[in-house]
Amino acid sequence: MDTKRWIEKDVAAMPVKPNLLDYEEARKNFSWEEVGQHFDGLSSGGLNIAHEAIDRHANGALREKTALIWHGKSGERKTFTYGEMKHLTNKFANVVKDLGFEKGERIYMLSPRVPELYIAVMGILKNRSVMCPLFAQFGPEPILQRLQGGDAKGLVTTERLYGKKVAGIVDQVPGLKYIFLIDAKDHRDEKVLSLPKLMEEASEEFTIEPTDPEDMSLLHFTSGTTGKPKGVIHVHKAIYTHWVTGYYVLDFHPDDVFWCTADPGWVTGTSYGIIAPWLHGITNVVDEAEFDAKRWFSILQDEKVNVWYTAPTAVRRLMRLDVDPLKEYDLSNLRLIQSVGEPLNPEAVWWGMEKLKLPIHDNWWQTETGGIMIANYLSQTIRPGSMGRPIPGVEAAIVQRNEDGSATVITEPGKEGDLALKPGWPSMFRGYLHNEEKYKNSFVDGWYISGDLAYRDEDGYFWFVGRADDIIKTSGHMVGPFEVESALMEHPAVAEAGVIGKPDPVAGQIVKAFVSLKKGYEPSEELRRELIAFGRKKLGVAIAPKEIEFMDELPKTRSGKIMRRLLKAQELGLPLGDTSTLEK
């Protein structure tokens, strides 16, 4: 192993002592029951996310503390204290309660990242209804699919989105009782209502009724990277995981300002863009606008962000722009950067070291796991390219599935297999909505099978290989796209790479790479040949791409994941399948 390429940490030199100092110790002494001691519980009985995230703080010492700093698209800035959030979310809870929304009924969000979105999410949970977030950029078809698929009873949206995307499909969702317009002055009719008006009339007092920790809280659709998005069921108890990962992985300290750049349409934007920071009573930053390097660095600087949670796609964008932030911005408050959603190429980790003087910490999880499962920790050595090690309380393994339905744990370091988790962590999904069969099939011989392939090294670090669907079989070799993509990214011209297996009569499949270039580079035959040679040198002839095609932008999901299945379908002239999450 090339230990020279590891990033060692100097904990003594860190401005704040990390919460996790000794990984093995933290795992050994861990108990999920103890995590429960950080919560109040409801006086009426049970556990409710919104109580623990908002009311618990509003009723105590953090009442006047800023819970939310909001940056509007047009330059506005607003802040809300925990006390204010309590009253606003109570009002929202009363709005839906008074209109007859019940426990378990689904209320959807189709909204830009405005404060009302965050208020509604917590209000819905207080009423014990279920919150289901959608990307505001979705078109009418994906919205309809999901409203129908999740039996929507309510929808919170804006006048513009309603007119453009919802009005035309609403008849096809007969169960939808009410639509709340965030920015409408007056009610339109019996069904389409003005939220400000209802909020004005609603009481600030609300008592959360008994909530079973196992009650459904969120319905989240997966990113649709590998196929049709699945509706994933989560419960209130998931906050145990959010609390623990907030503590150990995001290293939340009481005075922290935290920014998660993910949209709540994607699970990262709810679990960590809303819930985890508020469970810890810290200040959460939200930006309504889309990616913009200057804007982002200004926010990091001006809000004195301490912990930043972002995604590989954003990091690669910054790399592509060739920015040098420390020359222009004071980012001295930033002490931790975490990233999730896709494999984080080693180049991206090193980019952080060079340009931000901080490494980027990769972590792994899925909509199904509800929270971070495998991570790199602030105090621990980073092995760039590795997702890190399982969080305390979670057992992960590489398993081999056998024909007889059993699964064998692979103990041999470096051997690839299915990345699997031992069921039982609190934020584990409790089902795929209306697809019990698929849910059952995710569990094999006592393991949850993630659908990702990985290997484990001798020290227990997990390394992502690829999604099971994306693995390439070429001349007897199994090739994971991540390895090839990461190697190509080491070339100075390459901004992003997406690698697929292209059917070939001799090799079975050949490795083909789609490549987008950094600023200042133009596609040319010469560069194509250079990249092929570069790949061979890095990877060897067997694994290196045989074909390279330049693209301005690779197709991605709204959550920023490269859609290799689309690259493949396009290459083969096949139907594109579900493209509802494609970023257009």
Residue 565 interacting partner from Mg ion, ligand ATP, none (CB closer than 5 to 8 Å by kind): none
Q: Rounded to whole angstroms, how far apart are CA atoms 184 and 99?
A: 18
One of 342, 483, 485, 496 touching ligand ATP (CB under 6 A): 342
Residue 158 interacting partner from Mg ion, ligand ATP, none (CB closer than 5 to 8 Å by kind): none
452 forms part of the interface with ligand ATP (CB under 6 A): yes
One of 111, 127, 225, 245 touching ligand ATP (CB under 6 A): 225
Minimum distance, C-beta of residue 277 to ligand ATP, in the bound complex (Å): 20
306 forms part of the interface with ligand ATP (CB under 6 A): no
338 forms part of the interface with ligand ATP (CB under 6 A): no
Nearest to 260 by CA among 521, 268, 130: 268
Q: Residues 6 or more apart from 425 whose CB is under 8 A from it?
A: 32, 241, 369, 371, 373, 393, 394
Distances (CA, A) of 408 to 404, 412, 418, 446: 11, 12, 10, 10
Q: State the binding string over 350-369 for ligand ATP (x if CB under 6 A, else -).
A: ------------xxx-xx--
One of 488, 559, 566, 580 touching ligand ATP (CB under 6 A): 559
Nearer residue to ligand ATP within complex by CB, 194 or 557: 557
Minimum distance, C-beta of residue 266 to ligand ATP, in the bound complex (Å): 6
450 forms part of the interface with ligand ATP (CB under 6 A): yes
Q: Token pair for residue 559? A: 């959550």
Minimum distance, C-beta of residue 222 to Mg ion, in the bound complex (Å): 5
Cβ proximity of 170 and 6 under 8 Å: no
Count CB atoms within 10 A of the CB of residue 151: 18
Q: State the binding string over 482-521 for ligand ATP (x if CB under 6 A, else -).
A: ----------------------------------------
343 forms part of the interface with ligand ATP (CB under 6 A): yes
Residue 140 interacting partner from Mg ion, ligand ATP, none (CB closer than 5 to 8 Å by kind): none
341 forms part of the interface with ligand ATP (CB under 6 A): yes
Cβ proximity of 561 and 225 under 8 Å: yes
Minimum distance, C-beta of residue 564 to Mg ion, in the bound complex (Å): 13
Which residue type sits at 167? A
555 forms part of the interface with ligand ATP (CB under 6 A): no
Minimum distance, C-beta of residue 450 to Mg ion, in the bound complex (Å): 8
Nearer residue to Mg ion within complex by CB, 60 or 227: 227
Count CB atoms within 10 A of the CB of residue 290: 12
561 forms part of the interface with ligand ATP (CB under 6 A): yes
Residue 341 interacting partner from Mg ion, ligand ATP, none (CB closer than 5 to 8 Å by kind): ligand ATP
Instruction: Kindly state the number of chain residues that form the binding site for ligand ATP, as judged by CB under 6 A.
Output: 27
Nearer residue to ligand ATP within complex by CB, 119 or 500: 500
Nearer residue to ligand ATP within complex by CB, 184 or 428: 428
Residue 554 interacting partner from ligand ATP, Mg ion, none (CB closer than 5 to 8 Å by kind): none
Q: Rounded to whole angstroms, how far apart are CA atoms 445 and 147?
A: 34
Q: Token pair for residue 20? A: 């996790």
Residues that bind Mg ion (CB under 5 A): 222
Distances (CA, A) of 515 to 138, 296, 494: 26, 26, 7
One of 130, 193, 260, 340 touching ligand ATP (CB under 6 A): 340
Q: Rounded to whole angstroms, how far apart are CA atoms 78 and 164?
A: 27
Q: Token pair for residue 237? A: 């108890």
Q: Residues 6 or more apart from 156 whose CB is under 8 A from it?
A: 107, 108, 109, 110, 111, 116, 117, 120, 179, 180, 182, 195
Parallel, antiparallel or unpaired: strands 360-364 and 307-310: unpaired
Q: Rounded to whole angstroms, how far apart are CA atoms 310 and 307?
A: 10
Q: Quick one: which segment of 96-104, 241-249, 340-348, 532-540 binds ligand ATP (CB under 6 A)?
A: 340-348
SS3 193: strand
Nearer residue to ligand ATP within complex by CB, 83 or 466: 466
For the chain, how are helix, strand and coil distributed in percent, rounded to 5?
A: 30, 25, 45
Nearer residue to Mg ion within complex by CB, 368 or 496: 368
Q: Rounded to whole angstroms, how far apart are CA atoms 172 and 148?
A: 8
Q: State the binding string over 237-276 for ligand ATP (x if CB under 6 A, else -).
A: ------------------------------x---------
Minimum distance, C-beta of residue 364 to ligand ATP, in the bound complex (Å): 4
Which residue type sits at 566? L
Centroid of chain to Cα 239 = 15
Burial class (CB in 10 A: 0-12, 13-18, 19+), 176: buried
Q: Which of residues 377-436 bind ligand ATP (CB under 6 A)?
A: 387
Nearer residue to Mg ion within complex by CB, 88 or 233: 233
Interface residues with ligand ATP (CB under 6 A) are: 222-227, 229-230, 267, 340-344, 362-364, 366-367, 387, 450-452, 464, 467, 559, 561
